[in-house]
Structure 1
Amino acid sequence: MKILVVCQYYYPEPFRISDICESLVEKGHDVTVLTGLPNYPEGQVLNGYRNGKKRNEVLNGVKVVRSFEIGRGNNKLKLFLNYLSFALSGSLKAFFMKEKFDVIFVNQLSPVMMGIPAIVYKRKHKKKLLLYCLDLWPDSLAAGGINESSIIYKFFKKISQWIYNSADCIAVTSSMFEEYFRGTLGMYNKKIHHLPQYAEDLFTENKEVVKDDKYNFVFAGNIGDMQSVETIVKAANILREHSNIIFHIVGDGSKLEECKMLSKKLGLENVIYYGRRPVSEMPHYYGLADAMLITLKNNKAISYTLPGKVQSYMAAGKPIIGSINGETSRVIKNAECGLCCTAENYSELANVIIQFCNSNEKEKMAQNSYDYYIKNYSKERFISMLEDTLNNLEG
């Protein structure tokens, strides 16, 4: 197949879509990606992509077409301009694309407007569109503090419904997303497939183990408002007298400095920050962990999601400790691969961590984690399901 992929983010930004596209190329498909200029999570467009540079390139067999984009910056106005600039410039690129594709695939994170260029191409060339929803809109706005009764929320609800209804088929990462589409957005007749994410080969093939006399708990990923990493910091404060319990925070994001300042204010020595590390180094940090940590805000919309790091944690064969609600809590409990408490409940998280340290089930949790990944989230399963869905659309 000749596949047009539309996603605002692509390599060198750290998103799974790059691996998906390269895997499709390995399967013999011709893949072109329409994307923006790399600026996540730094907030500024990377030097090598400014002033018209690298607008067209081939990366590991994937043809990458980049449209103009304003860097996301560090405030809400810049973020809105970032979202809007890709939707507009990407739509222009899509309209003037001469190449004919068999099918269109939108990898939809936030914002949902990244789907608009795909709709432009779909309408002009009368091709089918598969939208893979990783972030629910407009509920992602509500999770970010936008009131559901506000004009902004209602406007983006209309936009979201139009974009989702424009897709011929929707795939979702979480089984609870389907409930949202049916109940909240009223999309009762839309084809919706459950297509959970997978972990990159790096995590399944490199199981480095770092042994010491401590209990090491590792959080890896974006450190933003939704991730509620301050819950870990506050739990660490409760456990500060337990000198054998250490917390490792690997990643970057809008709340990193705030978390560092909180750790400093509390005088914590049991929390170590590493910043954003190359993907190639992540097996080391995973190998350090006795268990991996996942936290999210106490929010209805956020509870629908199953963050991609869950699959990475499982693929590495690690127990998971969560302060989290909804779909992720359900998966961890079903897999019997860790322990959970409610979202943002830092005192209960501290209790759960002590419970884990005293447990005789650590090795069983680790094995359950990996087994559940292989059965439900393997890369081979994902790519096969994606190919089948795209083929059915093309036909």
Structure 2
Amino acid sequence: MHLLFLTDNFPPEVNAPASRTFEHCREWVREGAQVTVITCAPNFPKGAVFDGYRNWPWQSETVDGIRVIRVWSYITANEGFVKRILDYLSFMVTATIAALFVRRVDVVIGTSPQFFTACAAYATGLLKRRPWVFELRDLWPESIKAVGAMKESAAIRLLERLELFLYRKADLIVAVTHAFKDALTRRGIDSSKIEVVTNGVDLANFHPMLKDATLVRDLGLEGCFVAGYIGTHGMAHGLETLLEAAAALQRRPDAQDVRLIFLGHGAEKAALVAQSARLGLANVRFIDSVPKSEVVRYWSLLDVSIIHLRKTDLFDSVIPSKLFECMGMAIPVLHGVPGESAEIVRREGVGEVFESSNAIQLEEALVRLRTDPERMARYRANGPAAGRKYNRTDLARRMLDILRKLQVR
């Protein structure tokens, strides 16, 4: 079985779409499938091509048995709506062209968040007369409106019509949450062609470990209770709430050893750094993005991981992938995302939930965990057991079984 996977994010990029795609494709190869990935030169999130790569019409390499074809695209930083649309559109065109030169394909897969990659998968499936799969990671363009990047307009309505067209034309939709499936069903999409394969964790890489002593020393974290956010610093994440909590903590005598670290990059990072400086936050440290192989060292620093999205109804349907990585590493979470993901936190007993965009609740939760070692120990103990329920290897095999059924229809 030959699977052709179209994605505009792939390692060495370290965001959630890149990790999910790579880890799934790697397992599919181990299970005997032939896998070709078409992607672009790695550049997320800064919009700068990684060392060792070029933004070239065609580059080919093999990564863990996966054939990876990289094509040219218009590259820009993860900021500015118009430029990002040009980025997405350019990849849609060049990926479709490149796909025509990949022979003997059985199934075509296109992954979101944005759905122009799914457009390329649809066109490829049509031209090759093969079934195509829409892997749904985000309800785009609804998420654009949710973060205020665009207002209701003719352009948004056009994108929404295109979105529904793709859902209807897909031979199969693989959603990452049950809430996404429910949302599509309410919009008239046949539920029988929607499968749910949640995000998960690569337990070979994300497992309990001691704090990295070198990083603790280099970052001046000796004797500190460390809370942190690791991931994209974007409009959707509402990280100003974390800075407001840090300001309140700095004024509390019982929280003088609490430190917040922010690892990553994104459209809002410069504004967040500036806000931290205005507030005079001595208990906050910003760290630039690091290679994928180094990320777990920084995860190991955390006593508590903060997961947060801006307060909006749309994000009730989202399950941030970092939740599962925290489980695997036995890191308790403070979870500022309502809905399906909050229910997982409560059910599995891996942390506590606070209201999105509520800095006071976050401050109180941090102090509560800082002063209750028994509660912390309970959350840590529950993490790995919960993580095994979301083992990426098992999830990848389940998705492969679904794709194989599609092949024989």
TM-score by length of 1: 0.93
Match of 1:222 in 2: 232
Unaligned runs of 5+ in 1: none
Question: Are the structure 2 counterparts of residues 116 and 2 from structure 1 closer, same or farther at C-alpha, using a change threshold of 3 Å?
Answer: same
Match of 2:332 in 1: 319
Match of 1:379 in 2: 392
In the TM superposition, what are the counterparts of 1:3-152 in structure 2 within 5 Å? 3-14=3-14, 15-16=18-19, 17-46=21-50, 48-50=52-54, 52=56, 55-73=59-77, 74-94=79-99, 96-106=100-110, 108-145=111-148, 149-152=152-155
Q: In the alignment, is residue 281 of structure 1 matched against residue 284 of structure 2? A: no
Secondary structure in 2 aligned to 1:292?
strand
C-alpha displacement of 1:98: 4.9
Match of 1:306 in 2: 319
* Aligned residue identity for 2:5: V
C-alpha displacement of 1:181: 0.6
Question: Are the structure 2 counterparts of residues 202 and 253 from structure 1 closer, same or farther at C-alpha, using a change threshold of 3 Å?
Answer: farther
Q: Can you list the C-alpha shifts for 1:250-293, whole angstroms capped at 9, x where unaligned?
A: 11111111111111111111011111122222222222211111
In the TM superposition, what are the counterparts of 1:154-193 in structure 2 within 5 Å? 154-183=157-186, 185-193=187-195
Match of 1:340 in 2: 353
C-alpha displacement of 1:348: 1.4
C-alpha displacement of 1:131: 2.1
C-alpha displacement of 1:317: 1.2
C-alpha displacement of 1:105: 2.2
Q: Distance in 2 between matches of 1:162 and 1:97?
A: 26
Match of 2:382 in 1: 368
| 8 Å CA contact 2:40, 2:70 repeated in 1 | yes
| 8 Å CA contact 1:165, 1:190 repeated in 2 | no
Instruction: Between the two structures, name the one with larger relative contact order (CA 8 Å, sep ≥ 6).
Output: 2
Identify which range, 41-50 or 56-65, moves more after superposition: 41-50
Secondary structure in 1 aligned to 2:250?
coil
Match of 1:209 among 208, 211, 216: 211
| 8 Å CA contact 1:171, 1:192 repeated in 2 | yes
Unaligned runs of 5+ in 2: 214-221
Q: Distance in 2 between matches of 1:146 and 1:20?
A: 31
Q: Distance in 1 between matches of 2:207 and 2:88?
A: 36
Match of 1:232 in 2: 242
Q: In the alignment, is residue 252 of structure 1 matched against residue 265 of structure 2? A: yes
TM-score by length of 2: 0.90
Paired residues, what number?
Answer: 391
Match of 1:197 among 173, 192, 199: 199
| 8 Å CA contact 1:203, 1:283 repeated in 2 | yes
Question: Are the structure 2 counterparts of residues 88 and 51 from structure 1 closer, same or farther at C-alpha, using a change threshold of 3 Å?
Answer: closer
